[in-house]
């Protein structure tokens, strides 16, 4: 029975890894850049949107100057993470606290299209300010990411 449970756990964790490694984001942005499976209801002038949900690892609670890892994560965003993304050209639409999960921060970004997203993230990752910020607030998170294009009838595009 123990072996069985263990095997199942391993099964889950390799799924998780496969999922994380799958990451190359799909085409994103205006209808003209999408395959016909996705483009039918998308605006010709849509930007590329991304919703990212970060759940802070509670093992980090009490780390650094923070009782709660989620507070430390919010502080990282507040202090500089957003500013670094903006410096590299992303628009930050909003940052939220999930009210049903106290450990989850949700944020939303917009880029011109997928090529612009790649450009923003390459610059972000290579930025020494980000390296320093991550060292200051090393909160492990699990990320749930959604890529979206705006519909032709959307208020936000």
Binding site for other proteins (CB under 8 A): 25-28, 34, 37-38, 40-42, 49, 51, 53, 68, 70-71, 74, 77-78, 82, 92-100, 102, 105-106, 146-157
- What is the smallest separation between the CB atom of 89 and other proteins, expressed in angstroms? 15
- What is the smallest separation between the CB atom of 47 and other proteins, expressed in angstroms? 11
Cβ closer to other proteins: 86 or 122? Answer: 86
Question: Contact at 8 Å (CB) between 92 and 85?
Answer: yes
Strand 104-111 relative to strand 48-56: parallel, antiparallel, unpaired? Answer: antiparallel
| Cβ neighbours of 79 (radius 10 Å) | 12
- What is the smallest separation between the CB atom of 10 and other proteins, expressed in angstroms? 25
Cβ closer to other proteins: 41 or 118? Answer: 41
Question: Contact at 8 Å (CB) between 140 and 20?
Answer: no
- What is the smallest separation between the CB atom of 56 and other proteins, expressed in angstroms? 11
Cβ closer to other proteins: 39 or 127? Answer: 39
Dist. CA 42–CA 120, nearest whole Å: 23
Structure tokens at 78: 């507040």
Cβ closer to other proteins: 3 or 100? Answer: 100
Which residues does 85 contact at the CB level (< 8 Å), separation at least 6? Answer: 92, 109, 120, 124
């Amino acid at each position: 029975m123990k072996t069985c449970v263990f095997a199942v756990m391993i099964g889950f964790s390799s799924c998780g890894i496969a999922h994380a490694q799958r990451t190359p984001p799909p085409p994103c942005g205006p209808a003209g850049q999408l395959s016909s499976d996705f483009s039918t209801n998308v605006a010709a002038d849509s930007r590329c949107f991304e919703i990212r949900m970060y759940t802070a690892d509670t093992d980090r609670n009490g780390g650094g100057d923070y009782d709660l890892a989620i507070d430390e994560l919010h502080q990282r965003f507040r202090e500089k993470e957003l500013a670094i993304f903006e410096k590299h050209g992303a628009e930050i639409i909003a940052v939220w606290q999930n009210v049903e999960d106290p450990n989850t921060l949700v944020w939303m970004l917009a880029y011109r299209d997928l090529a612009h997203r790649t450009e923003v993230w390459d610059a972000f990752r290579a930025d020494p300010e980000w390296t320093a910020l991550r060292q200051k607030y090393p909160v492990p998170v699990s990320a749930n990411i959604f890529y979206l294009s705006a519909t032709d009838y959307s208020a936000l595009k």
